[in-house]
Structure 1
Amino acid sequence: MSVLRNRSRSQRQWTHRTAGLAAAAWLGLTACTSSPEALPTPKPPAVTVVTVAQRAVPVYGQYVGQTEAVKTVEIRARVEGFLERQVVPDGADVKAGDILFVIDPRPFEATLRQTQANVARDTAQLHQTEAALIQREADMQQAQANLERDLAQLENARTQEGRYRTLLQKELIAHEQYDQIHTNMTALQATVQADRAAFENAKAALAVARAAIENARAVIRADEAAVDSAQIQLGYTTIRSPLDGRMGRAEVRVGSLVGRQDSTLLATLSTLDPMYVNFSVSEREALSVWRYRTAPTGPSGITMTLPDDSAYPHDGRLDFVDRAVDPRTGTLALRATFANPRRLLQPGQYMRLRILLDERAGAVVVPQAAVQESQGSASLFVVGPDRTVQARTVRMGPRFGPLWVVEEGVKPGEQVVIKGLQQVRAGMRVEPTVEPLPPAPGS
């Protein structure tokens, strides 16, 4: 019994000690939670801010343009024949004067030789005709001399006949003497008449010889023209590049008959440097383009983005403005020219162009890093003089390098958060660190 009493007493003592310890722990916990210095106040989050400023901001127009070769020519067969060779491969870069294709020249060489032989033959004929002309000229000169001689003799005979007739009338000479003189005169008259006929015949023969000369010369001129034509036709069998550029895929294969009924298209050739880019602007933007293009300062150039979103390394220049706005679309066609020394541009590509239209002085700008976009709206965190954060809905304008124009929502001199955006919310106090505004492009 004494053992049981001792065990019961020990259990009651352990229970009392346990209850005392629990009460002491509860009192200690109550004391800790009720003390104002038990949980320290958290520090405001550190953020980086910039001061909203004003800048002169260029206004650019963004357009989609399509490249076009400055010159594009169709290489066509100008004579009929079988294509003998394609000298350069498809897609090759060529220089002006390079041989592209060769048509079988043998028929044209034969034609040329034939025309040259005709020239030689007709030239020999001309020489013979010229010799005949010389003879006809000599014949006419001889006939003229004979006529002049016999005319002189006839005149003398007539004078003598007149004297003898007078003597006969006076019966100073016999009638037989007069008859002899008269017969001589009559014979000379017949001779002169024959001389005149011979002279006319010689003159006619000379005219015929001269006409033959002119005809022979005309034949030779025709022969020489035929030679020139044959040489031209032969030259057409060697087809050369008319310009520096790149040849496309050949449209015919070696061995094909080309130029039979029309000028067969062999290939197309385009220049690559420089390159045109055609684009259109709205009627309103057309006025801005024209005003700024004609301003004393003038635009710095047209920039272009390639299809892989990389910047094209050369600026372009505006070289064509169409004469009128298209009434169907309300747009004006423009054209820019870009240097293309590395052949990065190919005809028919679509590019994004940016052209300087105007410059806005005093535009309100913030870093793009300060702007939060969600469902078509934009907002900023503005830190007030008391370091309290305000959320502002803003209306944004064009981007300008690392900056963004704010059309409405903040004022110059206010501070906006650019770093630490994830750890702040409206109404929270922050610890701001001021950074300078990023520089504008070109400054």
Structure 2
Amino acid sequence: MLKRFTPSILASYMSLAVKGALGSAFIVSITGCSDENAAKQVAPAPAVSIFNVVSQEVGDYREFVARTEAHQEVKIKARVEGELIERHFNEGSYVEKGQLLLRIDPSEYKSSVAEIEADIKSKIAGENGAQRDLKRGKEVAEQGFISQSDLDKLTTNYEQAAAAVKSAQASLEKAKLNLSYTEIRAPFAGRIGKVNYDVGNIVGPSSNELAELTDVDPIYVNFQVEEADYISYRQKHQDSVNNPQNVPIDLSLRLPNNTNFAAKGQLDFADTKIDRSTGTVELRATFANEKSIVMPGLFVTLIVESKDKQEHALIPQAAVQENQQGKFVLVVGDDNKVATRIVTLGRRINAMWVVESGLQEGEKVIVEGLQKVRQGVEVKPVEKMVDHVTGTISSKTDSAS
């Protein structure tokens, strides 16, 4: 039998249902707030790696695209014709000055020397005979036994015999010189390249070069400077215009593999005129290259830095970010809260940026954990070390060990 509900009974049930729902919502709300507060109180500050900003003396800085050139370079050629019979070096090896490199068959040239030496002896004998005839002729001419015409003939014969001796002696010097050319020696110390003719080939003055010898210690580095910059340089360094080695600049090289060359260079030469087609002047620097690391013909970056230097802050490249306002870093203050700092950056030195403005030595910048923080957040900073050359980040304990 169905129970019938009066309007008053239905109203009572609805009132109780509404009160129950409101009570449940209130309990859920109280529980949610307490959970959020508990989460806020329990969540630890995120840990980030920081780097203490250091400073370094840095001067005015320019980079130039440059090309390397051998200090000395020679194409070795045959100066006499003959068969190539000996080779005394390995291709690509280092050879000393005066070292025998190649030998051409000297047989023909030895024969020429011997033949001319014999001819000289004959001509000297003829000269001596003509000299004796002239002496006797002068003695009898004083007594009137021969005419002046005959005496003149004797004089002429002697002069011709003497001239023939000198001519033969000159031929002997030339023959000996040609004989010496059959031995090809290194004109200076350096590395010798590929040989273009094997033993057994006939070579001569009309042949191509036999090999190429280069001296790369020191190595030349050629670069161009725009005319306006060069005029400014001359105005600023009047005392050094005629002595480029005294210009107060430091020169260094960055190689094609993006590594820095160990040796420092010095300015060696400045051209005497401006190239009309390019509006530049040619300059040259020299670098010690004892281990022959830098080869001729490389495109390199020449770094020119003034010796008049000022202190600037240095930071790792890993700390730098960029937005619409420019480059910035995240700095951790004394209260361990994060602040955004806009910075003006200068040159890069290996893995470090030079900071021209925006940071000072001793401030702390975040280098790891950047994605976990934002402006105003409190963090747990962990100090790290950064290798200035490679940019490797490590803990202080790792660096100490």
State the TM-score, normalized to the length of structure 1.
Answer: 0.67
Superposed CA offset, 1:16-36 (max 9, x none): xxxxxxxxx999988766769
Letter in 1 for 2:225: V
Q: Is the 8 A contact 1:54 1:363 kept in 2?
A: yes
Instruction: Please tell me whether the aligned partners of residues 50 and 434 of structure 1 are also in contact (alpha carbons under 8 angstroms).
Output: yes
Once structures 1 and 2 are overlaid, which stretch shifts more, 124-133 or 273-282? 124-133
Q: 1:215 to 1:300 in 2, by over 3 A?
A: same
Separation in structure 2 between the aligned mates of residue 27 and residue 376 of structure 1, nearest angstrom: 47
Paired with 1:137 and 1:439, the residues of 2 have a C-alpha distance of 96
Structure-to-structure mapping, 1:267-278, within 5 angstroms: 267-278=211-222
Matches of 1:437 and 1:109 in 2, distance apart?
71
Summarize deviations over 1:260-298 as a string: whole Å, max 9, x none. Answer: 6x3642222211211101122344554676577678995
2:106 matched residue in structure 1 = 105
| Alpha-carbon shift at residue 424 of structure 1 (Å) | 1.4
Q: Distance in 2 between matches of 1:438 and 1:347?
A: 32
Residue in structure 2 matched with residue 349 of structure 1 by the alignment: 298
Q: Give 1:275's aligned amino acid.
A: I
Amino acid at match of 2:102: F
SS at match of 1:320: strand
User: Higher relative contact order at CA 8 Å, sep ≥6: structure 1 or structure 2?
Assistant: 1
- C-alpha change, 1:80 and 1:360, in structure 2 (3 Å) is closer
Query: Which residue is equivalent to 1:228?
Result: 173
- Give the structure 2 partner of residue 65 of structure 1: 66
Cα 1:391/1:256, change in 2 over 3 Å: same
Note if contact 2:336-2:379 (Cα within 8 Å) is conserved in structure 1. Answer: yes
Aligned to 2:377: 428
Q: What is the RMSD computed on CA atoms of the aligned residues?
A: 4.0
Larger Rg: 1
Whether 2:177 is the aligned partner of 1:266: answer: no
Q: Hey, what does 2:141 align to over in structure 1?
A: 140
Write the distance in 1 (CA, Å) between the matches of 2:289 and 2:106: 38
AA of the residue aligned to 1:130: Q
Equivalent runs, 1:37-116 vs 2, <5 Å: 41=41, 42-45=43-46, 57-116=58-117
Contact 1:51/1:412, CA 8 A, preserved across alignment: no
CA distance in 1: counterparts of 2:204 and 2:227, whole angstroms? 48
Aligned residue-pair number: 358
Specify the code of the residue in structure 2 equivalent to 1:123: I
Q: 2: CA distance between counterparts of 1:133 and 1:413?
A: 101
CA contact (8 A) 2:86 2:103 kept: yes
Answer yes or no: is the 8 Å Cα contact 1:67–1:349 preserved in 2. Answer: yes
Kindly indicate whether residue 219 of structure 2 is the aligned counterpart of residue 218 of structure 1: no
- AA aligned to 2:83 is F
CA pair 109-337 structure 1, distance change in 2 beyond 3 A? same
**Mapping of residues 383-398 of structure 1, within 5 Å:** 388-398=337-347
Unaligned runs of 5+ in 1: 1-24, 145-198
Give SS of 1:111's match.
helix
**Paired residue for 1:178?**
none
The DSSP-based 3-state class of the residue aligned with 1:265 is: coil
Equivalences for residues 134-283 of structure 1 within 5 A:
134-141=135-142, 144=143, 199=144, 201-259=146-204, 262=206, 264-283=208-227
The residue that corresponds to 1:340 in the other structure is 289
Deviation of 1:202 after TM superposition, in Å, equals 4.5
Establish whether residue 417 from structure 1 lines up as the match of residue 365 from structure 2: yes
The Cα of 1:301 is off from its aligned counterpart by: 2.8
TM-score, normalised to structure 2's length?
Answer: 0.73
1:321 to 238, 257, 270: 270
Identity over aligned pairs, percent: 32
What's the offset of the Cα at 1:330?
3.8
1:26–1:97 CA distance, 2 compared to 1 (3 A) = same
Cα distance between partner residues in 1 of 2:362 and 2:126? 106
Distance 1:322 1:413 in 2: 43
What CA distance in whole angstroms lies between the structure 2 residues aligned with 1:349 and 1:439? 26
